[in-house]
Copies of this chain bind each other. A is one copy, B any other.
Amino acid sequence: MKKDEVRVYGPATVSNVGPGFDLLGFALEEPGDEMIIRRNGSRSLRLVDESGCSLPLDPGINVAAIAATAILSELGIREGFDMIFTRKITPGSGVGSSAASCVAAVVGINEVLGNPFETEALIPYAMEGEKMASGATHADNIAPALLGGMTLIRSYDPLDIKHIPYPSDLWCAIVHPALEIRTLESRKQIPRQVTLKHALQQCGNLAGLVAGLATADYSLISRSICDVLAEPYRTHQLPDYQLLKEAALNSGSLGTGLSGSGPAVFSLCRGEEMAKMVGKVMKKHFTDRETGAVVYVSRISQAGCRIL
């Protein structure tokens, strides 16, 4: 059934989960993006920012508009839409702000058009927007933002996504310090050649993490959250990152790592209370260093992007 207007929610996500650089991500219950998609009777996209985030309103550089354009082009639709951003995850935070927008855009357009696409088939269009944000067509924010849960990108070519089972009391604490790291530049710092030893360490840890999640082996989850390929090249901008990790682990985090390319840092925790405690400890790390920080505490969300 076609519609004139929908309101969509796209959740924040953590990507690059530990050893899952470019491959593993999960959805959060909060924060998230909200967007209204409305037919406007014209032939063009019109962007309206009611989020207070100073979003770019030129459809050629707004990631959500790029994603929307990709799906409209594919369908050969020349109709125009208003895209009204009513709530927005802080851009550049590391919790998948661009993926939330891209996913909300394609789900909203698809819904207005009567769902010509299956949900999973929307991923490539959402990735078109994400590509502009990160300089690479990675999907480990897009997939969980769209589908919910914990998702593994088994392969990019062809795109192959698997929901990984995880224990129901797995929670996440995220601290977002008031620091800016550009995904595009951050990605360039990762070497294109790696040692076989590091490659095998990453393989072992990612497989261990997936096995730990699937069998609710918390100790294995904890031992597996270690990234030797990307994190070492990305944390120098965070003050005393190793101390932050130690503080989180000592206060009960199962594992701590960069969320996406940072500056947000996630800690997986067993249960809400533990996650709240770890969140406080991580926030204190930054406030002690005169850097403001926001904390989110959320269960891993089964639900992905959805019509409200």
Indicate whether A210 reaches chain B with its CB closer than 8 angstroms.
yes
Knowing A192-B196, A196-B194, A214-B211 are in contact, say whether A152-B206 is a contact too (CB < 8 A).
no
Instruction: Pick the contact of A202: B20, B165, B203 (CB < 8 A).
Output: B203
Q: How many residues of chain A have a CB within 8 Å of chain B?
A: 45
Closest residue of chain B to A154 (Cβ to Cβ) is B208
Indicate whether A32 reaches chain B with its CB closer than 8 angstroms.
no
Whole-angstrom distance between the alpha carbons of A224 and B198 in the complex? 21
A149-174 interface bits toward B, Cβ cutoff 8 Å, 1 = contact, 0 = none: 00011111000101011000000000
Binding site for B on A (CB under 8 A): 19-24, 152-156, 160, 162, 164-165, 190-212, 214-215, 217, 220, 223-224, 229
A152 contacts B190, C-beta separation under 8 Å: no
Instruction: Pick the contact of A200: B21, B210, B223 (CB < 8 A).
Output: B21
Whole-angstrom distance between the alpha carbons of A296 and B62 in the complex? 59
For residue A153, which residues in chain B have a CB less than 8 angstroms away from its CB?
204
- Shortest A200–chain B CB gap in Å is 6
Whole-angstrom distance between the alpha carbons of A202 and B197 in the complex? 13
Knowing A193-B193, A194-B199, A203-B206 are in contact, say whether A165-B23 is a contact too (CB < 8 A).
no
Instruction: Pick the contact of A214: B21, B160, B195, B214 (CB < 8 A).
Output: B214
Instruction: Pick the contact of A191: B24, B156, B196, B212 (CB < 8 A).
Output: B196
Whole-angstrom distance between the alpha carbons of A297 and B220 in the complex? 32
A223 contacts B164, C-beta separation under 8 Å: no
Closest residue of chain B to A24 (Cβ to Cβ) is B207
Instruction: Pick the contact of A23: B162, B200, B209 (CB < 8 A).
Output: B200
Chain A to chain B contacts (Cβ below 8 Å), 30 pairs: A19-B203, A21-B200, A21-B203, A23-B203, A24-B207, A152-B204, A152-B207, A152-B208, A152-B211, A154-B208, A154-B220, A154-B224, A155-B205, A155-B208, A160-B223, A162-B212, A164-B211, A165-B214, A191-B196, A193-B193, A193-B195, A194-B196, A194-B199, A200-B229, A203-B203, A203-B206, A207-B209, A210-B210, A211-B214, A214-B215
